[in-house]
Structure 1
Amino acid sequence: MTKRLLILLCIIIPTLLTAQSEKWDLRRAVDYAMQNNISVKQSDVQSRLAALQTKLAKAASIPNLNFSTNAGFQFGRNIDPTSNQFVNNNVFFQSYNLQSNITLFNFFNIKNQRKAAQVNEEASRVDVDRVRSDVGLNVVAAYLQLLLSIEQMNIAQAQIHLTDSQRIITQKQVDVGAMPPLNVAQLESQLALDSSNYITAVSTMESNKLQMIALLSLDASQPFEVSLPDVNKIPLPPLSELEPTELYEIAKGTQPLQQVDSLRIIAGQYSVKAAKGAMYPSITAFGSIGSNYASTYQQFAGVIPSGRVDTLGVIDIDGQKYYPTAPGYTTLYNKAPYLRQLGTINLNQSIGLQLNIPLFNGRQARTSYERAKLDVENYKLQLAQDNQTLQQNIFTARANAEAAIQKYSANKKAANYAQYAYELSKKRYEIGMLSTSEYLIVQNNLETAKINEASAFYDYIFRIKLLEYYKFGQVQL
């Protein structure tokens, strides 16, 4: 009963795993991940932030224009905002002001800040390409790992069928007395072990599938299947076309990380010039127009005769005093209208130039300049470090590729000999010239050889594709 359940399980699981779902080939997976992977989206956000910084830097050369207004009440003894006289009345006041200024010259501080922002924006865009390339390479590795785990699962499944077929044949021979029952018991034990190995292979495959789903930022609860290409038809250039020295010289100019480092250096140099310009005088033009209103403001309305005679003073001529007079008048005032106060009476304008000379500001300008120079030095060291790492990675990848080719060749030969040994052992076992335990050893050796061959082959493919990545900047699919 147990063995039947195990065999049934091994038949059902592949059926469930290949349920109806849209299959993903490698090209589709790479293209999708390059657009939807979370790391790619995060780098794209950083690129857009850099674009905003560029817009801000460009806007620094545009005149500022600001409008302000206020309104309120004054109580008790206050100064009338229109006449600057003390009044004891309650006053409602309101003012408007429009101001503008623009930097005319500041030793190219704004210009260099704008250039630095533009180069940093370009570096951010290239960095998005770097993340996409890295994600694409990771998808290729995950895809090949998933294909390997599927093949290992199929090998384990074939091993179950192989053991079960041999168990059936042995059972028939036991039934006619040609073999002892011990042989069947040993095969039953092997069948259970093969089933356990198969379940482990399925678990590994599912784990690799989840890693693939995560790279694609897909919903893990939805069905996901990959197409199974003929891996033997994957184009693999010979190692003679992938010399590490040549690859390194190419990669220094094509790898996004090296491009980002170079752009950071250029942006840093512009920042140094901008910081230096901030230490020198700057000239700014400014202008404003404004007006205000006060409820207590009185405007001249005219005069009327008062009917009295006013003495204007005294004049002494040769000791004779004269007192000149004039008819008296009463001066009339009325409340100035709101729009008249704002548009005519209280309207004011100003225009001028401002010279700003930084003399001492707590060493902020000098420190910013020195920090900018150190940033450039750090960017250069980062480029040197990344170039060194790139060279090491390329030479290591080439050495690993050579080892992978040799390992695959050896494992392929071992698998062929293991297959030949199994075929001979099977014939000897069926005629009773080989014990069950000896037969199972040969059979297990064949399974191990097939798994090792598959593992070495997929490792060989990835190693070559990695070298292609350094040569072309992307994996050739």
Structure 2
Amino acid sequence: MQVAWKSIGAIVALMLTTSLTGTYAQTNPNAESLSGAATASSASTPARLNLLQCIEIAQQNNITVRQGQLTVANSDLQLHQSRLNLLPTTSFQTNQGINGGYSINPQSNAFVQQTIHSSNYQLNASFTVYNGMVLRNTVKQNELTLQASQQELNATKNNVSLTVAQNYLNVLTGTEQLAVARRQAEVTQAQLDRMQRLVSAGSAPEANLYELRATLASNQVDIVTAQNTVDLAKVALLQSMNVPINQDFEVEPVNVPDPGLDPYTASVQQLYDVASSTLPEIKGADMRVKSAMLGVQVAKGGLYPTLSLNAGLSTIYSSAATKSTPNGQTIQQTLGYFTDPNGNNLPVYTNSPQYDRLGVSYGNQLKNNFSQSASLFLRVPIFQGNLSRNRVTTAKIQQQTAELTAQNTRLVLRQQIETAYTNMRAAANKYRATQVQVSSLEKAFEVAESRLNAGAINATDYTIAKTNLDRARASLVQTKYDYVFRTKILDYYQNKPLSF
């Protein structure tokens, strides 16, 4: 039975597009209760969940899905940052200082013996003009990385949903087999009651009564076994949803009519061609290959020169800065002497204005000392210990690894499709044979029941006939679900929506 349900798991991605309907209730993200999904208002009524609700709860609570969401968020952040790296970089810096004793006046670069307060302001900008297309290729690579992460997250969600669907269907199968076991016990109880009347009337031997009682006891054991199977299936379902098992709930049955046995129209190659172009794990692997190819181009960019444009604005202030200001006073000074015609040396006087040394205001210094600069910076790599070439080699190895991973993903997909197709054909044959078996055993049981009522056979022969029919009916339940969902698996590979 475990093997039968493994393939059923693949239907989960289809379940997200099914015609199953239901009200989506708010669920606790900490997975403490299923009460939010209950459809009844009474606290004593168990929650009733459909498959889509179980999948939604599982995807909200699953740790691997959450990790995948964080990976997508991180990839998106890296893409955003790589786009910002295309823009110029700017920075502002300032320096406030105090120097005492013998120091340099930053205003005049002269040595002075005093305490100086100084300020320095700089605004710088840099823009990469060319660096071997590293920045732009990095943006393209991060775009593919983000898309690959999103596809891998979708694949993770599908895998989580596979497990939920498998366990959900185990609950449905166990529930139906439990109903079959109870109907079997009801038939045995009715036959036991009738035999009790015949024995009391002396029309049948008392041994038949004991045989039927033993059969009824066996049916009760089958009911207990079936109930245990349902309980274990519910535990597995809750665990796959990451919900504590102390939850009282029921699952809504899926309307699965008796299937037809017409041959499946698509071939293995057709299934593979569609699946290889639609499944998220294949898309994610292909995007990883493309991302690795761009990684090689990014690494090769390290072999090329880097040209950048730089610009800056700066100004300074110093408390030692002074300027000369006229004070309105003059002083007579002798410029020299000249000799008149008589041979006398006469002095030459001039009136020189007098100045005071005053400090320069903070704002005026910032304005007067304001300067601009612009430059082109070229860096040509010549030898760096072969670092850039080794990075290229490493990037090529990563590309080859991604290509092999993509090839292996396709190989696994083809093998899964081949196995699913073979299992579908085997399930069809088994379902057809089981239908014939049940039909034959029903007729045999009707004959045995009639002969038992007529006293032509004993209760042992009747019990054997009934047991064979009961087992065949239980097997028919399993083969029915098995065959139907194996066909839905193949529909999933064809990217078809699930409908019943």
Residues 1:247 and 1:87: Cα distance change in structure 2 (over 3 Å): same
Inter-partner Cα distance in structure 2 for 1:82 and 1:266: 58
Other-structure match for 1:337: 361
Q: Provide the residue aligned with 1:445 in structure 2.
A: 468
- Cα distance, 1:411–1:310 mapped onto 2, change above 3 Å: farther
Q: In structure 2, what is the equivalent of residue 231 of structure 1?
A: 256
Report if aligned partners of 1:237, 1:464 keep a CA contact under 8 Å in 2. no
- Between 1:383-392 and 1:35-44, the stretch displaced more is 35-44
Matched, 1:270 2:258: no
Residue correspondence of structure 1 range 63-82 to structure 2 within 5 A: 63-82=88-107
Q: Deviations over 1:233-280 (max 9, x none)?
A: 67x784341211221222222222222222222222222112111211
Alpha-carbon distance change, 391 to 328 in structure 1, aligned in 2, over 3 angstroms: same
Worse-superposed segment, 452-461 or 287-296: 287-296
Alignment of structure 1 residues 40-439 onto 2, 5 Å: 40-179=65-204, 183-215=208-240, 223-232=248-257, 238-302=262-326, 332-342=356-366, 344-439=367-462
Counterpart AA for 1:43: G
Cα shift at 1:355: 0.4
- Do the aligned residues in 1 keep the contact of 2:107 with 2:317 (CA within 8 Å)? yes
Contact map agreement 2:332 2:349 (CA 8 A) in 1: no
Task: Give the Cα–Cα distance (whole angstroms) in 2 for the partners of residues 450 and 78 of structure 1.
Answer: 104
Moved more, 42-51 or 145-154: 42-51
Whole-angstrom distance in 2 between the partners of 1:445 and 1:255: 44
Compare 109-118 and 214-223 and name the one that shifted more: 214-223
Deviation for aligned residue 1:215: 4.9
CA distance in 2, matches of 1:185, 1:123: 68
> Which protein is richer in helix relative to its size?
1
Shift in alpha-carbon separation, 1:69–1:93, aligned structure 2, 3 A: same
Structure 1's 431 and 89: CA in aligned 2 closer, same or farther, altered over 3 A?
farther
Partners of 1:33 and 1:61 lie apart in 2 by: 41
How far the C-alpha of 1:415 sits from its partner, in A, is 1.9
**Aligned mates of 2:200, 2:434 — CA distance in 1:** 39
Letter in structure 2 aligned against 1:67: F
Query: C-alpha distance in 2, partners of 1:462/1:207?
Result: 21
Comparing 257-266 with 164-173, which one deviates more in the overlay? 164-173
Q: CA deviation at 1:377?
A: 1.4
CA distance in 1, matches of 2:388, 2:454: 94
Cα deviations by residue, 1:159-206 (Å, 9 ceiling, x for unpaired): 232333333333334444555655545544444443333233223223
Any idea what the Cα deviations from partners look like across 1:422-472, whole Å, max 9, x if unmatched? 222223333444333443333222221111111111111121111111112
Aligned length in residues: 449
Could you tell me which amino acid in structure 1 is paired with residue 468 of structure 2? N
- Between 1:439-448 and 1:290-299, the stretch displaced more is 290-299
SS of 2:381's partner is coil
Secondary structure of the corresponding residue to residue 358 of structure 1? coil
CA distance in 2, matches of 1:24, 1:206: 16
Cα deviation digits, residues 307-344 of structure 1 (max 9, x gap): 696999xxxxxxxxx999987886532333222222x2
Q: Which moved more, 1:111-120 or 1:248-257?
A: 248-257
Distance 2:234 2:446 in 1: 35
Shift of 1:77: 4.5
Aligned AA (1:349): Q
The answer (yes or no) to whether the contact 1:137–1:474 under 8 Å persists in 2 is: no
Equivalent-residue separation in structure 2 for 1:237 and 1:171 (angstroms): 44
Separation in 1 of the partners of 2:243 and 2:262? 36
Q: 1:225 to 1:84 in 2, by over 3 A?
A: farther
Cα distance, 1:395 vs structure 2: 1.3
- Report if the CA contact (8 A) 1:469-1:476 is conserved: no
User: What is the alpha-carbon distance in structure 1 between the residues aligned to residue 47 and residue 243 of structure 2?
Assistant: 13
TM-score by length of 1: 0.81
For 1:334, the aligned partner's letter is: L
Contact 2:326 2:353 in 1 (8 A): no
* 2:376 match: secondary structure: strand
* Shift in Å, 1:86: 4.2
Change (3 A) 1:143 1:345: same
- 1:408 maps to a residue whose letter is Y
CA distance in 1, matches of 2:258, 2:363: 86
1 CA distance for matches of 2:244 and 2:179?
26
* 2:302–2:388 CA contact under 8 A, matched in 1: yes
Q: CA deviation at 1:383?
A: 1.8
Which is worse superposed, 32-41 or 57-66?
32-41
Compute the TM-score of the two structures, normalised by the length of structure 2: 0.78
| Cα distance in structure 2, aligned partners of 1:299 and 1:169 | 128
Structure 1 308/246 Cα, relative in aligned 2: closer, same or farther at 3 Å?
same
The change in CA–CA distance for 1:326 and 1:256 in structure 2 (over 3 A counts) is same
| Change over 3 Å in CA distance of 1:169–1:294 after alignment to 2 | farther
Distance 1:161 1:333, change over 3 A: farther
Matched-pair contact (CA < 8 Å) for 2:306–2:380: yes
- The answer (yes or no) to whether the contact 2:185–2:220 under 8 Å persists in 1 is yes
- CA distance in 1 between partners of 2:347 and 2:497 (Å): 110
Which residue type is aligned with residue 118 of structure 1?
A: E
Distance 1:204 1:86 in 2: 95
Partner of residue 4, structure 1: none
Q: CA RMSD in A?
A: 3.4
Partner SS state of residue 353, structure 1: strand
